[in-house]
Amino acid sequence: MVRLLLPALLSLTLAACAPSEAPRIGDYRSVGELRVATRHDAISYRIGDDGRASGFEHDLLLALGDTLGVPVRFVPYPDAARALDAVITGQVHMAAAGLGRNERLPLSWSQSLREVEYVIVGRSGGRAVSTEKDLAGRTISVRRGTLPAEKVSEIRKRVPGVNVHFPIRGAEERLLADLAQGGLDLVATDRLHFAFGARIHPELEIVHELPGRSGIAWALPQGGGALATEIEAFLGEMNASGRLARIADRYFGHVRRLDDADVATFLSRIRERLPRYRDFFHEAEALTGLDWRYIAAVAYQESHWDPQATSFTGVRGMMMLTGDTADRLGVENRLDARQSILGGARYLDMLRQQLPEDLPEPDRTWMATAAYNLGMGHMKGARAIARGLGKDDRSWWDMKSVLPLLSRPQYAQRLKAGPARGGEAVVMTENVRSFHDILMRLEKPYEPALALPRLKLGHAD
């Protein structure tokens, strides 16, 4: 790892003699902001279709900025090595880029945010890798400056013939996509990034586990200083309060819910069924303001995009509406795809509006989704039970541990609407989250200016 950083560090040292070099950044209080080196990544820091930044570490750092009383300025770098260089040379206050702790670098590290394991990923049906020796003659692609890169370099020392490829600007998401398409031989990454990649590329599989575990942490200048002390106190409070677990759940608590068969079926339905109904989902977004891909995810969970779907309980159609709900929404024919989609979207939006105004997103939408399955009466009852148990009824993280209690007699007796299968509502909502994430990566956002003219009310198959 040190050897990988030497060229970059040497160039920066030489550049220090040049008068054009930016001065070392001062204390965050004197600068008036916390400057953080990061990189674009599906987990830590990403930019959405609306241009807004989000991500596990992004949200955690915004909370840190609130605690410190300063805004956070994110400075993206092409890779982890250059983000770390920025800390070493004093151009930023810290780095947060899905970094594995590496004590051999001239840096200080925060406590771990989450634990990770590293793996080598290949394509299903490829040449088997039973031991390290089977990697001879193979080419492993990996991001430069990362712990997986260091582990792969160590394998190359032990196994002659192992080739290591460092792609330029190659984030894990891009590397795994290239691997799935046959452009790369093998990719070294961590289990969580593999899980994200396998959701849209089920042909990927782990072929070899790299030794050891690591903790993802924030990198600080050597010695740490006052900022390191403040970060330790902040992370300690975040752990104790459960806020760290809630933020983690928001971004990847649902990632491993779908198995390979579920993903493969969903991807085939995206190709075969979704095109027939995409315009109706676009119209539903225009009507409600809900992301059309989220509405489509709910519809898939309900019926697998089958407009003729019927349940033994009497719910029917693409959005599986009850007769009473359809009547209230003015849906004349539940088996008409367009009517069902527009009606179901309106119902989901109505449930969102019925929840308290101070309930934040995305928890608000997830609770509305559970209420789509349970009914708002049961959701209100579950929130009251959560408060009685000392849990946060505004947090989906807490509520998904409370909802399964609705089927137990000691809790069901408190509900005006009687017992409910709250566990099913949790599974439904978590599946919708997964389907929505996949659609977000594969389908474009709705753009009204480019949309087809609004369709007239009519029947669809």
For 374-381, the CB contacts below 8 A with 24+ separation are 374/403, 374/406, 374/420, 374/421, 374/422, 374/425, 375/417, 375/420, 376/351, 377/415, 377/416, 377/417, 378/406, 378/415, 378/417, 378/420, 378/422, 379/355, 381/406, 381/414, 381/415, 381/416, 381/417
> Where would I find the beta strands (DSSP E) of 191-318?
204-221
Cα–Cα distance for residue pair 455/198, rounded to 1 Å: 36
Neighbours of 265 (CB within 10 A): 14
CB 114 within 8 A of CB 231: no
> Where would I find the beta strands (DSSP E) of 202-254?
204-221
List the beta bridge partners of residue 201: none
Max Cα-Cα span within the chain? 77
CB 446 within 8 A of CB 50: no
Tell me whether residue 237 is one of the annotated catalytic residues: no
| DSSP run (H or E) holding 165 | strand 163-165
CB 8 within 8 A of CB 82: yes
Q: Name the catalytic one among 115, 302, 332, 357.
A: 302
Determine the distance from the C-alpha atom of residue 419 to the mean position of all C-alpha atoms in its chain, rounded to a whole number: 33
Cα–Cα distance for residue pair 294/273, rounded to 1 Å: 16
Catalytic residue numbers, as ranges: 302
